Structure 1
């Protein structure tokens, strides 16, 4: 029977005959069962796990032995697992007088008392119950004395015991009849002390329902931290002085209880930096009052954030008090942090260490602000850091050592992945990559909090991989972790979910586009066969892939019962379906053209253009960069600019270069410096007759620009002038002209940024 909350069920490696439900109290293992072999999978991957035997069926009657103070959440989780797996009777007893009448005995607790340990060893034959690491646990299942089966879950602390039950839930193998328990020995503990997430994005905050669901997810995946810091919660940032309405305080109180149940520390953050007077006693008291209201509903962890603000001192009082300091902003901020630390955190026994984000939170090296901040802020304050860059492609131990040497405070990584507030029309569903395995307290790092997407439910897919990494980074394999995430999240819908995730994979952390990578060789083979007049075999293979893409949306909607997820991804699913249809139409059009069936070709061309129009009307984007070039060639012929030599007046940074505008991928781009008189030019390699240019703009587009052509690269002719572009995709047609060089000459930018182009395409006359 299924355990609905388990997240990587152990897999059967053989097929089983239908089993029989055993009477209560009867434990029987058939000869066939004793020969069975099961592959055990646990997420996050334990530090040590060994299968010591085949295992045994989960009896419908079990004994549960706990001790005084056994974690209540662990007991509840284990009982829920029993119920879901078909256990009918639980005989509960205490270690002081254990009842061992049931054929299967569960021992659950910390078991630090010597007498308790002796009892367990005598009854079970298990010799090693030593757990040394915080949040660690031991889980052992084995045949004990007197033909009884014993499962011991022993934690270093309450959290460790709770995590042991989460692991046990994954060991239960679903079968017809009775479920199966493999014999295993697991010794496990986390690498990172703090493992969590921060709701720290811009945009609509998560709902209360979203947060409750997240906290349950964190507990299941052994994450122990949640920071409440939504930028667009007005009472968190702009109205920070004002108390929360009572109904909101009640909601936060409910979140704190849910967090406690799931062994998650709930951190309440305030971001006062835009309007605070750092030296003001009145503003300090407003912060204390705000924090006290949260303390009263159970919050024990607090953060004061100073990121994304103008650091210059606004008030005359602050300029008078701190203006003579070597770095007035750092001095003012340190004064506030230290006073809040002294007057609130240290006056509330049981409060966790204060957390902050400095204004200079992502720079590569030291700054005068950082130097002074490190000198003045009290040493027990935890500093959050995003890595080098706001969205850091990599975070290495060398980076951590460097930044720790600068701040001289414990670092808590604020990892801006998979957050998408900077690109609200994308989902980032690939696994976490680019983080060293050695980001530990030895390198000044005490943990990591991932900043998820605005789409709460969808964020669980990459957050699974983040949890995997944080618990055991040395065993972390991104591809394997994502596979386990998709199997948990999608269940029977794994295959269509994987196709969808592969279409929303690429991010600032990776350059991968799994769907494009699969399509690209098929497209290349198709066009080669098309030119060779033998296209049908390759067309069938390409049509099969487009059909798979088209059907993914309907399959997910039909197979997944996760309404919140389906609502969040609805426009992306619609767009994916349209891409599949457009792909089919493009292939069929090309086939009809090659067969000289003008009517069929015209019909498919009309369908294709309509599909592309509908695709353009959906602002959400997928990482399917290869398809734009495919559709362009189908409609317009060969893009003469693709793969040719491009030059530009400038590049904003060294990774946004001109060659990326002619690479045939709509997810890479060129960007110029921030002046109007910038240009991008492509050398087609020889003179062609051309009549069409397509500019695919990023958000930083040209409001006014010219398209110029030349045969020699010296004498230029204007073939088109745009005086009021709205960005997006500009399709520019002009009378056929002979040219080797084609240039976009900027006249006026639409934004304060430069000009930024995903693709610069040039076409000759299409027959």
Structure 2
């Protein structure tokens, strides 16, 4: 029977010989003697862990002692872990029966009965087994009052026992011969009461297979919540009145059962706000009928969502009942929520608290809507909140205090990370960052559910870090958590996956940080410095190796990573990464050939580079490799005169989307304007140049119509190009050679309701 590899578990490494908590590199441990270090990792990181001895070998014969109501899934997890570890005989016994005759005994359960607890304490030598925290557990190994070796997995409740079993799986150490059990005492519990994910994105919903896999993943990582709310499930939003087809009901029933096995609360959400008549008894009954169908297949948690809707009351019946002032929509929504709460939630014994999302869910301040909503919505209803901003770069306890003071309801964070429905051609694989460690009930926050990407398997990489954060935010280390996530997800393919993650990392949460670009940037600078000194070979080798790494990584991942669904999800990104590598390699060889006056070789490499860039342009997916397009542009067009120069703009959408980000040489950072047509951005080149090319690399908010203007003094502007039908992406604009110091993009007409947004604004000198 095969044994699990230790790279499949992550987040805490413990040196059991010294007893120190040391963040060592993850490794597979193969112990040989009692004098060796035995390293293991636990995810999420426990609150407390103490070494109590060196450990002992796991005998092929093991006894398991349970109580009457020991959690079935916890028991299955323990037995499965033992079988993977090579145990070939498991003897089970109830605690009130004679103990199994086995060298190793594992006690699994809650053991809250005083007589049963006394039996545990007398046999294993532990006094005062006391777990006061919901979902908390103790895992203790090695203590015993007799010749046997004992392992105790005791939970405060069924979920705690299950989580203890998950931790037990982590501490089993593979070695030659018999697997090893370290002697430790772990006391653990979660900080956030609610921890999980909300499938709340726009676009193609996850498949049934995806959801089942996600629920297993949540259980393994001690996440206890999943909210079903895919915006483009028609029966969730547009056709909310219509019952689900029978086959869909069966799928949801299977999801509910899988969630229950993993101690995950399955919340069924409905979003009726666009079309419902809030005051209608008939509409309320349709809503309750929809919920009842879910209740009948085991759903015990419900949400009514009112986000992303037109708050205006369309129904004459609603306008007559609630009025037409700024408070009307809040009154109507509160009326519906309260009636559903009273007539459905409170009439169904065992139902969880109702959850809602108000229409004003991200704003920073109060409003007439919010005041009325807070006053009228019943106090036991949970309010979801995204932080300040739809995708909040940070969520602080001060933010929570402020918003809790406005809504006066318990807040459940709807964290719009790592969701990518607003930029479907990017992946956000970096860790969760920017969230305070004390987002707790003391600040009005009862938990966090992360909105994942449309790509379900890829979402597991950042969701691993969400699980770490929500369980133990006090000890959360984002970078370390991501490292462990990669190792668990990829196993032997961890190294190439890290390259891919570092190339798909940048997001608003981490200031568009690009780990791979950070490695490339000094090498690119070194390359150009060597080029300008006339000896480009000195700076070429290291940079060339990085491009070769990009070129080879997709092949390595496809051949070593055993995750078909993930590889299908990221296939276009891998294709683009490979092309980036080919392009960079050709660019370096072209420059080397030029300096060696090998015209033929230079032309061959230039043709290869241009053809590769053409192929790259056909792939809309984007990687976090913002410095590479700038490098390639310079190879082909010469130096970008705008890079690093002073840029000004008519406005910035927010304080962190400033004009300097459009001239920083990075195609991931960006400037964005306010939401009006007459907006502009200009760059001061520092002196007068003869220029003949401008490149605009647009974000999704692009200019449909705009002008390129030039000036020598920054006051008098001349039109040199007018675009009347741009389709976004990259606009490469050839203009007649002209003398200019200042260059400006003057917007005429936006392509969307947003403003204008540029990743890069590039200007090139006329070349002979």
The TM-score range, normalised by the shorter chain, is over 0.9
Query: Cα distance, 1:678 vs. partner?
Result: 3.0
2:566 aligned with 1:585: no
Query: Cα distance, 1:249 vs. partner?
Result: 0.6
Once the two structures are superposed, residues 533-576 of structure 1 have per-residue CA deviations (whole angstroms, 9 ceiling, x without a partner) of 22223211111111111111111100011000000010111111
- Length-normalised TM-score, structure 2: 0.95
Q: How many Å separate the matches in 2 of 1:506 and 1:586? A: 25
Q: How many Å separate the matches in 2 of 1:534 and 1:51? A: 58
What is the correspondence of 1:389-468 to structure 2 with a 5 Å cutoff? 389-468=389-468
Residue of structure 2 equivalent to 1:729: 730
Residue of structure 2 equivalent to 1:505: 505
Is 607-616 or 651-660 further displaced after alignment? Answer: 651-660
Residue of structure 2 equivalent to 1:370: 370
Residue of structure 2 equivalent to 1:7: 9
Is 5-14 or 466-475 further displaced after alignment? Answer: 5-14
Change (3 A) 1:128 1:547: farther
Query: Cα distance, 1:103 vs. partner?
Result: 0.5
- Contact 2:14–2:41 under 8 Å retained in 1: no
Residue of structure 2 equivalent to 1:543: 544
Q: How many Å separate the matches in 2 of 1:612 and 1:390? A: 34
- Contact 1:676–1:749 under 8 Å retained in 2: yes
Query: Cα distance, 1:3 vs. partner?
Result: 3.0
Once the two structures are superposed, residues 709-738 of structure 1 have per-residue CA deviations (whole angstroms, 9 ceiling, x without a partner) of 232334443333323322211111233222
- List alignment gaps of at least 5 residues for structure 2: 17-29
* Matched position secondary structure for 2:214: helix
* Matched position secondary structure for 1:34: coil
2:572 aligned with 1:571: yes
What is the correspondence of 1:286-685 to structure 2 with a 5 Å cutoff? 286-323=286-323, 327-511=327-511, 512-685=513-686
Change (3 A) 1:605 1:98: farther
Instruction: Note the aligned Cα RMSD (angstroms).
Output: 1.8
Q: How many Å separate the matches in 2 of 1:148 and 1:723? A: 83
- Contact 1:267–1:299 under 8 Å retained in 2: yes
Query: Cα distance, 1:143 vs. partner?
Result: 4.7
Change (3 A) 1:269 1:95: same
Residue of structure 1 equivalent to 2:19: none
* Matched position secondary structure for 1:509: helix
- Contact 1:46–1:189 under 8 Å retained in 2: yes
Query: Cα distance, 1:175 vs. partner?
Result: 2.0
- Contact 1:322–1:331 under 8 Å retained in 2: yes
Query: Cα distance, 1:703 vs. partner?
Result: 2.6
Query: Cα distance, 1:697 vs. partner?
Result: 1.5
Once the two structures are superposed, residues 121-180 of structure 1 have per-residue CA deviations (whole angstroms, 9 ceiling, x without a partner) of 222212242111110000001152433211100000100000001001011112232221
- Contact 1:12–1:173 under 8 Å retained in 2: no
- Contact 1:10–1:171 under 8 Å retained in 2: no
Q: How many Å separate the matches in 2 of 1:144 and 1:156? A: 22
- List alignment gaps of at least 5 residues for structure 1: 15-29
Residue of structure 2 equivalent to 1:205: 205
* Matched position secondary structure for 2:276: coil
Residue of structure 2 equivalent to 1:256: 256
Change (3 A) 1:356 1:675: closer
Query: Cα distance, 1:741 vs. partner?
Result: 1.7
Q: How many Å separate the matches in 2 of 1:714 and 1:326? A: 45
Once the two structures are superposed, residues 729-752 of structure 1 have per-residue CA deviations (whole angstroms, 9 ceiling, x without a partner) of 111123322222222233333333
- Contact 1:269–1:302 under 8 Å retained in 2: yes
Q: How many Å separate the matches in 2 of 1:615 and 1:726? A: 17
Query: Cα distance, 1:188 vs. partner?
Result: 0.4
Query: Cα distance, 1:31 vs. partner?
Result: 11
Once the two structures are superposed, residues 668-700 of structure 1 have per-residue CA deviations (whole angstroms, 9 ceiling, x without a partner) of 222233443333221111111222111112222
2:63 aligned with 1:63: yes
Query: Cα distance, 1:272 vs. partner?
Result: 0.5
Change (3 A) 1:346 1:4: farther
Is 622-631 or 695-704 further displaced after alignment? Answer: 695-704
Residue of structure 2 equivalent to 1:130: 130
Once the two structures are superposed, residues 631-663 of structure 1 have per-residue CA deviations (whole angstroms, 9 ceiling, x without a partner) of 111111111111111222333333322212111
Residue of structure 2 equivalent to 1:189: 189
Residue of structure 2 equivalent to 1:153: 153
Q: How many Å separate the matches in 1 of 2:747 and 2:370? A: 39
Once the two structures are superposed, residues 270-321 of structure 1 have per-residue CA deviations (whole angstroms, 9 ceiling, x without a partner) of 1110000011010000011001101100000111111111111111111111
Once the two structures are superposed, residues 188-238 of structure 1 have per-residue CA deviations (whole angstroms, 9 ceiling, x without a partner) of 000011111100111111110000000000000000111101111111111
Q: How many Å separate the matches in 1 of 2:409 and 2:718? A: 61
Q: How many Å separate the matches in 2 of 1:713 and 1:12? A: 62
Once the two structures are superposed, residues 440-491 of structure 1 have per-residue CA deviations (whole angstroms, 9 ceiling, x without a partner) of 1111111111110000111000000000000000010000110111110011
Change (3 A) 1:677 1:383: closer
* Matched position secondary structure for 2:384: strand
Q: How many Å separate the matches in 2 of 1:4 and 1:299? A: 36
Q: How many Å separate the matches in 2 of 1:652 and 1:261? A: 46
Residue of structure 2 equivalent to 1:176: 176
* Matched position secondary structure for 1:653: coil
Residue of structure 2 equivalent to 1:26: none
Residue of structure 2 equivalent to 1:21: none
Q: How many Å separate the matches in 1 of 2:685 and 2:766? A: 15
* Matched position secondary structure for 2:119: helix
Q: How many Å separate the matches in 1 of 2:307 and 2:707? A: 40
Query: Cα distance, 1:108 vs. partner?
Result: 0.4
* Matched position secondary structure for 1:468: helix
Q: How many Å separate the matches in 1 of 2:496 and 2:31? A: 39
Q: How many Å separate the matches in 2 of 1:231 and 1:750? A: 24
- Contact 1:9–1:172 under 8 Å retained in 2: no
- Contact 2:385–2:413 under 8 Å retained in 1: yes
Change (3 A) 1:523 1:156: same
Query: Cα distance, 1:754 vs. partner?
Result: 2.9
Is 689-698 or 234-243 further displaced after alignment? Answer: 689-698
* Matched position secondary structure for 1:607: helix
Change (3 A) 1:11 1:156: closer
* Matched position secondary structure for 1:162: helix
Residue of structure 2 equivalent to 1:121: 121
Residue of structure 1 equivalent to 2:237: 237
* Matched position secondary structure for 1:102: coil
Q: How many positions carry a matched residue from both structures?
A: 752
- Contact 1:11–1:173 under 8 Å retained in 2: no
- Contact 1:3–1:169 under 8 Å retained in 2: no
- Contact 1:193–1:446 under 8 Å retained in 2: yes
Q: How many Å separate the matches in 2 of 1:505 and 1:647? A: 28
